[in-house]
């Protein structure tokens, strides 16, 4: 007897479709072999499947069974193939009709007692199945909310293997997954900018960063509020669009580093890895490549606190993803690409002791120590950070006054208005925000007036700006103009953008020295 069943396994943030071919022959020397490059979890499925099959009927006659996972040259990973293997075995025994699974994709892990356990990667598999024209998918009931967000394919839910057998026989049909709308009003409120006292320049920079999607570095002494500000960035960003939510949820669905998503993610992710993180954990990788922190922060925020304490090689590995907004992990057998459109916000002390420029405490570091400390951040990496902002310590007089700042809701309203201006300017097929503008778009939309061009020339000559830094200043100036509702750049837009290049001015220069 021979049977074929369709299943799939996650591959990056996509799917590898697998045809389970089961060949059963009567034999005095019974056995079950699984071939087709299975990993350890797939090889162990033999024991899970056989135990589950014993729960739903008498033991079969002795036979020699070969299970082939096609295409044979692709490695198969995970326990999600259990259900397809079990149904294939049942079909060769005549327990279910061999044609009952036509046009159906089966996915699920089996427990020893025959229950279906939820698996990872359901959302990207369901999206790929819909695009391939597959009519229906049978899933564990535990994956219902994740799969129900996909339209255009029928999702059927099973709790046990026995329920699926009855469905395939036509005796009792499985229930379909009910679409569940994604609401935002039940989400817990995040930290609010209203708690931030003082720091007007840093708050302004945070608003610009949110409005244009700009990478940001906050530099200041310990306790000045750098982390407090960074953690409030997600609260002023625009809500996730539907396509962004699908992309972000797909990454979280395949990752073993985060909880399995319960439906679509409705808030932008905020990832804050410790400075001891490895390059593989930050960028992605491993023997079986997994998305790293930069991909888990896709369409959200990646916060690197104590930036200068990260290993140099780890920071340098960020350079290409910051430009390309994706990362490719290459291994001997294959390469996988994960999305990485994240907004970087980092925090660092100005010197090893942390008090350089502090009006209340004196710095004990020598010029050589400060030079070595700042050399931990390479020029090419700093070039990719649009806003470099000083965050001085807040005087005690201001802290004692208990003056509350502007709430996040008010700032978020201005950010959304600026993003809408960018959306209407660039169109549906253009860049998502000003931070993604290429040279052609910069030439079209960021042309500075004559006076601003002269200021930029002086700044570039004084600060030794690279071409990349020059373009980033123009992108920031475009965002400042968008926040004001201005159609063209003005000299004060460019002057303010130049003022946010703190590390280009030298450690003792005044904030406005570059533009005087």
Distance in angstroms (rounded) separating the CA atoms of residues 333 and 291: 17
Q: Provide the CATH number for the domain around residue 59.
A: 3.30.230.10
Q: 3-state secondary structure string, 10-73?
A: EECCEEEEEEEEEEEEECCCCEEEEECCECHHHHCHHHHHHHHHHCCCCCCCCEEEEEEEECCC
Q: 254, 286, 313, 269: which is closest to 119 by C-alpha?
A: 254
Mean pLDDT of 398-404: 67
Does any domain span residue 7? Answer: yes
Do 398 and 451 reside in the same domain of the chain? Answer: no
Asked if the model's pLDDT at residue 8 lies above 70, the reply is yes
Could you count the other beta carbons within 10 Å of the beta carbon of residue 242?
10
What pLDDT is recorded for position 63?
86
Those residues with Cβ within 8 angstroms of residue 254's Cβ, 6 or more apart along the chain or in another chain: 10, 12, 13, 120, 121, 124, 290, 291
pLDDT of residue 180 exceeding 80, the answer is no
Mean pLDDT of 87-91: 96
Give yes or no: residues 223 and 104 share one domain.
no
- Same-domain pairing of 204 and 135: no
Q: Is residue 218 part of a domain?
A: yes
272 closest CA partner among 219, 338, 228, 337 = 228
Quote the pLDDT of residue 28. Answer: 67
Tokens of 95: 């327990």
Q: Do 286 and 368 fall into the same domain?
A: yes
pLDDT (average), residues 331-354:
92
Same domain assignment for residues 388 and 449: no
* 223, pLDDT greater than 80: yes
State how far the Cα of 296 lies from the Cα of 405, in Å rounded to an integer: 31
CA atoms 415, 418, 422, 428: torsion sign: positive
Q: How confident is the model at residue 460 (pLDDT cuts 50, 70, 90)?
A: confident
Number of domain units in the chain = 3
Residue 234 DSSP label: G
Query: What is the model's pLDDT at position 186?
Result: 41
CB 45 within 8 A of CB 85: yes
**Residue bearing tokens 């046009």:** 103
Q: What is the pLDDT of residue 382?
A: 92
Q: Could you tell me the pLDDT band of residue 401, with boundaries at 50, 70 and 90? A: low
Q: Which segment, 195-199, 209-213, 257-261, 286-290, is predicted with the most confidence on average?
A: 209-213
Question: Strands 2-11 and 284-285, how do they pair?
Answer: unpaired
| Contact indicator for 107, 137 with CB cutoff of 8 Å | yes
pLDDT classification of 417: cutoffs 50, 70, 90: very high
Given this model, what pLDDT does residue 502 score? 80
More confident: 516 or 381: 381
**pLDDT class of 516 with cuts at 50, 70, 90:** very low
Kindly tell me the number of DSSP H helices and DSSP E strands found in the chain: 21, 18
Q: What local confidence, expressed as pLDDT, does residue 179 receive?
A: 73
| Per-residue model confidence (pLDDT) at position 360 | 80
Is the model's pLDDT at 373 over the cut of 50? yes
Q: Are residues 276 and 383 in the same domain?
A: yes
Residue 497's pLDDT band (cuts 50, 70, 90): very high
The more confident residue out of 252 and 461 is 252
In a domain, 425, yes or no: no
Show the tokens assigned to 20: 């389970």
Taking the CA atoms of residue 274, residue 275, residue 278 and residue 281 in that order, the dihedral angle to the nearest 10 degrees is: 30
Instruction: Report the percentage of the chain scoring pLDDT > 90.
Output: 76
Of 52, 120, 126, the C-alpha closest to 86 is 52
Give the CATH number of the domain where residue 237 resides.
3.40.50.300
Extract the tokens encoding 206: 């945070």
pLDDT at 247 over 60: yes
Q: What are the DSSP calls for 371-402, one per residue?
A: HHHHTTS-HHHHHT-SEEEE-PPPPHHHHHHT
Residue 492 lies in a domain: yes
- pLDDT of 86 reads 96
Compute the distance between CA of residue 224 and CA of residue 510 in angstroms, rounded to an integer: 19
Give me the domain span that covers residue 348.
Answer: 193-411
State how far the Cα of 380 lies from the Cα of 438, in Å rounded to an integer.
Answer: 18
Rounded to whole angstroms, how far apart are CA atoms 341 and 301?
9
> Residue 513: its pLDDT value, please?
34
Residues 498 and 351 both lie in one domain: no
d(CA 357, CA 363): 7
By the 10 Å C-beta count (0-12 exposed, 13-18 middle, 19+ buried), 340 is classed as buried
403, two tokens: 């003056």
pLDDT given for residue 400 in this prediction: 63
pLDDT band at 31 (very low <50, low <70, confident <90, very high): confident
For the chain, how many residues are written? 516
pTM over 0.85? The answer is yes
pLDDT tier for residue 386 given thresholds of 50, 70 and 90: very high
Question: Residue 482's closest CA among 416, 410, 418?
Answer: 418
Unique residue bearing structure tokens 């943030």: 13
Mean pLDDT of 39-67: 89
pLDDT bin (cut points 50, 70, 90) of residue 165 is very high
Q: What is the mean pLDDT of residues 413-422?
A: 97
432 in a domain, yes or no? no
Structural domain contains residue 431: no
Residue 489: inside a domain: yes
Geometric angle at alpha carbon 325, from 321 and 327, rounded to 5°: 55
Could you tell me what percentage of the chain is helix, strand and coil, using 3-state DSSP and rounding each to the nearest 5?
Answer: 40, 20, 40
Residue 395's pLDDT band, with cuts at 50, 70 and 90, is confident
pLDDT the model gives residue 262: 85
Which of 194-198, 295-299, 371-375, 503-507 shows the lowest mean pLDDT across its residues?
A: 503-507
Helices 467-484 + 491-499 axis angle, to 10: 120
Average pLDDT value for residue range 16-30? 89
Look at residue 506 and tell me whether its pLDDT is greater than 70.
no
Whether 32 contacts 50, CB under 8 Å = yes
* Last residue of one domain, picked from the residues 411, 427, 462: 411
Is the confidence at residue 301, as pLDDT, over 80?
yes
Is 178 part of a structural domain of the chain? no
**Domain co-membership, 7 together with 153:** yes
- For residues 503 and 37, which has the higher predicted lDDT (pLDDT)? 37
Virtual torsion, Cα 71, 74, 75, 79, nearest 10 deg: -40
Cis (ω within 30 of 0) for the bond into 32?
no
Question: Which residues, listed in sequence order, are joined to residue 156 by a DSSP beta bridge?
Answer: 138, 176
**Per-residue confidence (pLDDT) for residue 92, from 0 to 100:** 93
Q: Quote the pLDDT of residue 290.
A: 92
Q: Specify whether 399 is located in the same domain as 307.
A: yes
pLDDT in tens, 111-164: 999 999 999 999 999 999 999 999 999 999 999 999 988 989 999 999 999 999
User: Is 402 found in the same domain as 348?
Assistant: yes
Q: Are residues 145 and 207 in the same domain?
A: no
| DSSP β-ladder status, 301-304 and 270-271 | parallel
CB distance 500 to 205 below 8 Å:
yes
* 164 and 198 part of one domain: no
């Amino acid at each position: 007897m021979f049977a074929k069943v369709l299943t799939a396994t996650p591959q990056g943030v996509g799917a590898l479709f697998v045809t389970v071919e089961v060949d059963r022959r009567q034999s005095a020397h019974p056995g079950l072999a699984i071939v087709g490059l299975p990993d350890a979890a797939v090889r162990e499925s033999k024991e899970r499947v056989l135990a589950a099959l014993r729960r739903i009927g008498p033991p079969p006659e002795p036979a020699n069974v070969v299970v082939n996972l096609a295409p044979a040259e692709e490695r198969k990973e995970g326990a999600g193939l259990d259900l397809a293997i079990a149904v294939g075995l049942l079909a060769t025994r005549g327990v279910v009709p061999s044609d009952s699974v036509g046009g159906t994709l089966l996915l699920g892990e089996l427990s020893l007692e025959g229950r279906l356990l939820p698996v990872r990667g359901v959302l990207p598999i369901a999206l790929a199945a819909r695009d391939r024209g597959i009519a229906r998918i049978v899933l564990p009931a535990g994956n219902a909310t994740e799969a129900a967000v996909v339209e255009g394919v029928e999702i059927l839910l099973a709790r046990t293997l026995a329920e699926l057998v009855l469905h395939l026989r036509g005796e009792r049909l499985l229930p379909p997954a009910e679409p569940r709308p994604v609401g935002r009003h039940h989400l817990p409120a995040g930290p609010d900018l209203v708690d931030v006292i003082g720091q007007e320049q840093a708050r302004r920079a945070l608003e610009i960063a949110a409005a244009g999607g700009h990478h940001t570095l906050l530099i200041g002494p310990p306790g000045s509020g750098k982390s407090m500000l960074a953690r409030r960035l997600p609260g002023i960003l625009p809500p996730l669009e539907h396509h962004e939510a699908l992309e972000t949820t797909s990454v979280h669905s395949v990752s073993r580093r985060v909880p399995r998503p319960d439906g679509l993610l409705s808030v932008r992710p905020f990832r804050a890895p410790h400075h001891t993180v490895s390059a593989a954990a930050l960028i992605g990788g491993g023997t079986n490549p997994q998305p790293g922190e930069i991909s888990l922060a896709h369409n959200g925020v990646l916060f690197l606190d104590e930036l200068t304490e990260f290993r140099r090689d780890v920071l340098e590995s960020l350079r290409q993803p910051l430009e390309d907004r994706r990362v490719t992990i290459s291994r001997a057998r294959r390469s996988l690409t994960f999305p990485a459109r994240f907004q970087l916000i980092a925090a660092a002390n100005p010197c090893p002791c942390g008090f350089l420029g502090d009006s209340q405490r004196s710095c004990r570091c020598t010029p050589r120590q400060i030079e070595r400390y700042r050399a931990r951040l390479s020029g090419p990496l700093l070039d990719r950070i649009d806003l470099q902002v000083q965050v001085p310590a807040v005087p005690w007089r201001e802290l004692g006054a208990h003056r509350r700042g502007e709430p996040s809701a008010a700032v978020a309203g201005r950010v959304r208005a600026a993003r809408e201006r960018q959306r209407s300017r660039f169109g549906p097929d253009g860049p998502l925000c000003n931070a993604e503008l290429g040279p052609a778009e910069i030439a079209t939309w960021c042309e500075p007036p004559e006076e601003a061009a002269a200021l930029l020339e002086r700044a570039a000559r004084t600060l030794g700006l690279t071409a990349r830094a020059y373009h980033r200043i123009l992108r920031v100036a475009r965002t400042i103009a968008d926040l004001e509702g201005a159609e063209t750049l003005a000299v004060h837009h460019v002057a303010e953008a130049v003022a946010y290049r703190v590390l280009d001015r030298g450690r003792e220069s005044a904030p406005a020295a570059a533009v005087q």
